Amino acid sequence: MTRPLILDVKNLGFTYGTTRVLHQVELDVTEGELVALVGPNGAGKSTALACVAGPETLGGRSHTGTIHLGGHDAATLRADARARWLGYLPQNLPADLVLTVEELVWLGRHPHLGAFGLRRERDARAVEDALADCELGPLRHRRACDLSGGERQRAYLASALSAQPSLLLLDEPTSALDLRHALSLLQILKSGSAAVLMATHDLHLAARYCDRVAVLHDGRVRAFGAPDEVLTTELLREVYGVEATIVRDPSTDRPIVLATELAP
């Protein structure tokens, strides 16, 4: 049975000044699916996520094309309704936040608290689950500004998870994490209920954990499909300018990308 679409992007375009950053981008994410958005620096990954996240992330600029969230035209959704639908974790996170970790995670729960900010049992449970999933219990009373980069990244992720969104938009969520916490994060995302669209440079983690991979190149979707269909030596040479060897992981039968040298 086909899973329902959580995100459906059609003909997405975006321009910074006179520079066209995205060209007719088409993406979709189904319920419970983990999709990686990969590509070289400047390909448009962060911009694509920001367009889906909403106009507040675009500095007042608007995109072309359509974005539907759970069948609803995102352009017609109020900011509070969109906040209940999706969680967004940008690449550059504030480092000077004086809230404690626990307060930050409760902040992520805010869209569900109602007009009077009443905290119910289910809200507290969502916060505790997020803290536990991201292994933040011992840090819950520390201020976010006093954490290391990786700890702070986990705290912001827990804040997004506490909202229990239908869709998570994550921009380089493992960039500041050590190997253990990066693997833990992907396992959390893989086993969670939210669909995920994740921009990443880590092709190994994308191939191992993601259901599909979308490759952006020069603002266009160059390929979109299962990891073993998309991550080929030919595509890596064309998009990344590298020669690579693709081997199979004997435990998962997933592809492992071994970049060996620059392409001539």
Query: Above pLDDT 90, what percent of the chain?
Result: 83
pLDDT of residue 116 exceeding 80: no
Q: Are 6 and 195 in contact (CB under 8 A)?
A: yes
Report which of residues 185 and 1 the model is more confident about: 185
Confidence of residue 81 (pLDDT cuts 50, 70, 90): confident
Confidence of residue 183 (pLDDT cuts 50, 70, 90): very high
Confidence of residue 118 (pLDDT cuts 50, 70, 90): confident
pLDDT of residue 1 exceeding 70: no
What is residue 60's predicted lDDT score, i.e. its pLDDT? 78
Closest CA relative to residue 127, chosen from 145, 152, 96, 101: 101
Q: For residue range 122-169, list pLDDT tens digits in order.
A: 999 999 999 999 999 999 999 999 999 999 999 999 999 999 999 999
Cβ neighbours for 20, distance < 8 A, ≥ 6 positions apart: 13, 14, 219
Give the pTM.
0.94
What is residue 80's predicted lDDT score, i.e. its pLDDT? 83
pLDDT of residue 247 exceeding 70: yes
Closest CA relative to residue 88, chosen from 8, 197, 185: 197
What is residue 112's predicted lDDT score, i.e. its pLDDT? 86
What is residue 163's predicted lDDT score, i.e. its pLDDT? 94
Handedness of CA 238, 244, 250, 252 (dihedral sign): negative
What is residue 59's predicted lDDT score, i.e. its pLDDT? 81
What is residue 2's predicted lDDT score, i.e. its pLDDT? 81
pLDDT of residue 22 exceeding 80: yes
Q: For residue range 215-235, list pLDDT tens digits in order.
A: 999 999 999 999 999 999 999
CATH of the domain at 83: 3.40.50.300
What integer best gives the mean pLDDT of the chain? Answer: 94
Mean pLDDT of 107-132: 89
Long-range pairs of 177-181 with CB within 8 A, sequence gap ≥ 24: 177/150, 177/153, 178/150, 181/135, 181/150, 181/154
Assign 187 to helix, strand or coil: helix
Query: Above pLDDT 70, what percent of the chain?
Result: 98
Domain containing 147 equals 5-262
Mean pLDDT of 241-245: 96
**How many distinct structural domains can be found in the chain?**
1
